[in-house]
Amino acid sequence: MNTKKFINERITQIKKEIGPSIAICATSGGVDSMVCAFLGHKALGKKMIALFIDDGLMREKEAQTVSKILRKNGIRTVVVYTAKDFFRALKGKEDPEEMRKAFRDTFYKTLGKAAKKYKADYLIQGTIAADIKETKGKIKSQHNVLSQIGINPKKYGLSIIEPLVKLYKPGVRKVGKELGLPKVLYQRMPFPGPGLATRVVGEVTPLRVKIVRKATSIVEQELKKFKPFQAFAVLLNDRATGIKKGKRAFGNIVVIRSVESKDALTAIPTKIPYTVLEKIQKRIVHEIPQITKVLYDISPKPPSTIEYV
């Protein structure tokens, strides 16, 4: 791919399609949506508003981190607080596809409302080729695939532009680098649109998300130096007997997941030194009262997928 040519073509395409209108771009802090926000900004300047939807499912301090980076780069940025809507939609749902569909519907309703508020006709979003492949292949319904599976975005009052739709992850990173994004951004770990909901097996409640958020932060901190493709924690729906403060506790189980991959279509587990795993286990059990057991997942993709939901 000629990256410069690709960027110029996408900028021309965005300018042409959007014309005098306004566009919004939803950013989750993952690499695809961040690259998209920078690309959209380059094409439209202040006519593009980057939206960080704080749905209660994001990582620790993510709203501040992401909005700070965007604003520092001159991108008009708005944080929308909507956690209640998302938890209401996810309440009582345990089936992964049902959860994904409930998330998707709430997500686009939120964006539709925001578009109305900011008088935007278009949504620029960072769907990439792998998202479509997995959704069409019925592996899992990625939150940002609509028209490709017959859902008309007009239902949410949106017209969607997907500048990265032909690319896989390595291509997106190249575009990010060429666009002048800081290295920490274009090398950032992928983070799924439905956020920590993909890492909570069973019902997604504020408390269960809080647990997985804290565990994720510990895993990310301890594995940062290994530069994994993706590393995080998962909260299982099972429980296990343990001992906390000298007393019996039938607590929760957290899984450490870290994988190496190029395009997220296949992946292998990171070979983490045992001493590092031990440190993560100790921190999780000591810092999160509800956890009695920590596991390390050694499953490649396939047959596993990277996320759990």
Which C-beta is closer to ligand XMP: that of 142 or that of 252?
142
Which C-beta is closer to ligand XMP: that of 148 or that of 242?
148
144 scored as a contact of ligand XMP (CB under 6 A): yes
Which C-beta is closer to ligand XMP: that of 82 or that of 239?
82
- List the interface residues with ligand XMP, window 276-305 (CB under 6 A): 301, 305
Which C-beta is closer to ligand XMP: that of 59 or that of 143?
143
140 scored as a contact of ligand XMP (CB under 6 A): yes
Q: Distance between CA 281 and CA 273 in Å, rounded?
A: 13
- List the interface residues with ligand XMP, window 49-108 (CB under 6 A): none
CB of 131 to ligand XMP, least distance (A): 6
Which C-beta is closer to ligand XMP: that of 228 or that of 251?
228
Q: Distance between CA 25 and CA 51 in Å, rounded?
A: 6
CB of 52 to ligand XMP, least distance (A): 14
CB of 235 to ligand XMP, least distance (A): 16
Which C-beta is closer to ligand XMP: that of 77 or that of 144?
144
CB of 307 to ligand XMP, least distance (A): 3
Per-residue x/- marks for ligand XMP, 186-205, CB under 6 A?
A: ----x-xxx---x-------
The stretch among 138-146, 150-158, 238-246, 276-284 that binds ligand XMP (CB under 6 A) is 138-146
| Cis amide bond preceding 206, omega within 30 | no
CB of 33 to ligand XMP, least distance (A): 7
216 scored as a contact of ligand XMP (CB under 6 A): no
CB of 222 to ligand XMP, least distance (A): 19
Query: DSSP characters for the chain?
Result: --HHHHHHHHHHHHHHHHTTS-EEEE--SSHHHHHHHHHHHHHHGGGEEEEEEE-S-SPTTHHHHHHHHHHHTT--EEEEE-HHHHHHHHTT--SHHHHHHHHHHHHHHHHHHHHHHTT--EEE----HHHHHHHHTTS---TT--GGGT--GGGGT-EEE-TTTT--HHHHHHHHHHTT--HHHHTPPP--TTGGGGGB-S---HHHHHHHHHHHHHHHHHHGGG--SEEEEEEEEEEEEEEETTEEEEEEEEEEEEEE-SSSSSBEE----HHHHHHHHHHHHHH-TTEEEEEE----BTTS-SS--
- List the interface residues with ligand XMP, window 239-278 (CB under 6 A): 264
Number of residues forming the site for ligand XMP (CB under 6 A) = 18
- Could you list the residues that contact ligand XMP (CB under 6 A)? 131, 134, 139-140, 142-144, 190, 192-194, 198, 230, 264, 301, 305-307
